[in-house]
Amino acid sequence: MLSLINSKIFTLRHLSRGNRTSFDKSIGLFGIAVIQFSADPNLQKAVEIKRNLGRKYIWTGQEESQLLEAVEKHGTKWTYISLNYFQSTKSPASLSQKFTYLQLKRKRSSYHNPWTREEDEILKRGVSKYGVGDWISISKLLQNRDNVQIYNRWQVISKTKRGRWTDDEHKLLLDLVDKHGQKWTELSDILNRPAKCIQSYYEYNIVNKKWTAEENNTLYQAIKEYGENWDIIMKHFPYRTVNNVKFHFQYIVACNPNINKGKWNEEEVEAFDKAFKKYGKKWKLISQEVKTRTPQQCKDHIKRQLSKQLSSFFNKRSLS
């Protein structure tokens, strides 16, 4: 029975693009078909063409360089590059995929390269500008490092520091407070110091730091020469904030050359009375109306006036 099955041969006809290619198919042992193609030159040619087409997917070093050069000149115009640089042998989609791969490959090559001091400084500036966590924006500043590398490097260099502050740290803190406000947790990530330490340092060494006689004189001369041009004035106070200097200027008479001292004249009293009726106890606005007295002087002036009136009232009652 098996010998009969093995000996049974039949011929099938297979159509391939209009040409007939014959092959014998014999039913072998256990019903397994065995196909034997006849020698056909057209079939051999088709196989060779298919084999050659497969080779087109293998990129040469010259083609990779050509792709990078094309992207540098024309950007990601894949259809244009496919037509003019590769005669359409590479599809726009394959060009896009290859370029992405080359970019990743270039970044991976830097994985085992140690970070330079320049890269660390760029990373710190990036964190200062974009904030901790915006690694995508920061990675644009470091072309040879990816997001993961940048994140890992930040974890290494952002270890918490303690101890004496440097002049650079002091100035950086002033800049950060001006830009971001008193957000101590965020500043902690940038300055690599505990948030509470930064807050304490800021309040003790910047906000509440006692002004020296030399600083008072410097501010006095600067106001006299430049007016209230704070951009120029602040160049004389690199270790203080703008708000700190402005506050000191407004409330300390000795620092303001435009402020009168001693007894109030008639013009000042008249201007004060009008402003007080208009603004109430808004001393800053009253000071701007009087022009020659600080907010604190205006506040002290009304206290003295009330004290005199009360004294006069009680004196009259005692006499009566």
Average pLDDT, whole number, for the chain?
A: 77
pLDDT band at 19 (very low <50, low <70, confident <90, very high): very low
Separation of alpha carbons 202 and 97, rounded Å: 51
Each residue's pLDDT tens digit, 82-139? 999 998 888 999 888 888 877 766 655 555 678 888 998 999 889 888 887 788 888 8
Check the CA dihedral 2-6-12-16 and report its sign.
Answer: positive
Q: State residue 32's pLDDT score.
A: 47
For 79, residues 6+ apart whose C-beta sits below 8 A from its C-beta are 92
pTM over 0.75: no
Could you report the per-residue pLDDT of 37-51, keeping only the tens digit for each?
A: 445 555 565 555 445
Q: What percent of the chain has pLDDT over 70?
A: 74
DSSP 157-196: HT----SPPPHHHHHHHHHHHHHH-S-HHHHHHHHTS-HH
* Coil vs helix vs strand at 37: strand
User: Higher model confidence: residue 276 or residue 208?
Assistant: 276
pLDDT at 105: 66
pLDDT-derived band at 292 (thresholds 50, 70, 90) equals: confident
**Predicted confidence (pLDDT) at residue 31 exceeds the cutoff of 50:** no
Question: What is the reported pLDDT for 27?
Answer: 45
Instruction: Quick: pLDDT tens for 152-187.
Output: 788 667 656 667 888 888 888 888 888 888 888 888
- How much is the CA Rg of the chain, to the nearest whole Å? 42
Range name among 15-24, 117-126, 279-288 with the lowest pLDDT average: 15-24
Mean per-residue pLDDT for 295-310? 86
Q: Dump pLDDT digits (tens) for 197-224.
A: 888 888 888 777 888 899 999 999 999 8
CA separation for the pair 228, 154 (Å, rounded) = 41
Q: Nearest-CA neighbor of 252 among 209, 295, 221, 207?
A: 295
Q: What is the pLDDT of residue 52?
A: 47
What mean pLDDT do residues 228-238 have?
90
Domains present along the chain, CATH in parentheses: 2-53 (no CATH), 66-108 (no CATH), 210-255 (1.10.10.60), 259-301 (1.10.10)
**Token code pair at residue 174:** 């002033």
Task: Give the model's confidence band at 314: pLDDT under 50 very low, under 70 low, under 90 confident, else very high.
Answer: low
**What is the structure's pLDDT at 71?**
82
DSSP assignment letter at 276: H
How is 1-22 classified by DSSP, letter by letter?
Answer: -HHHHHH-EEEEEEEETTEEEE
Q: What is the pLDDT of residue 3?
A: 44
Which pLDDT does position 108 carry in this prediction? Answer: 58
Q: How many whole angstroms separate alpha carbon 194 and alpha carbon 181?
A: 17
pLDDT at 48: 55
Q: What is the pLDDT at residue 25?
A: 45
pLDDT score for 5: 37
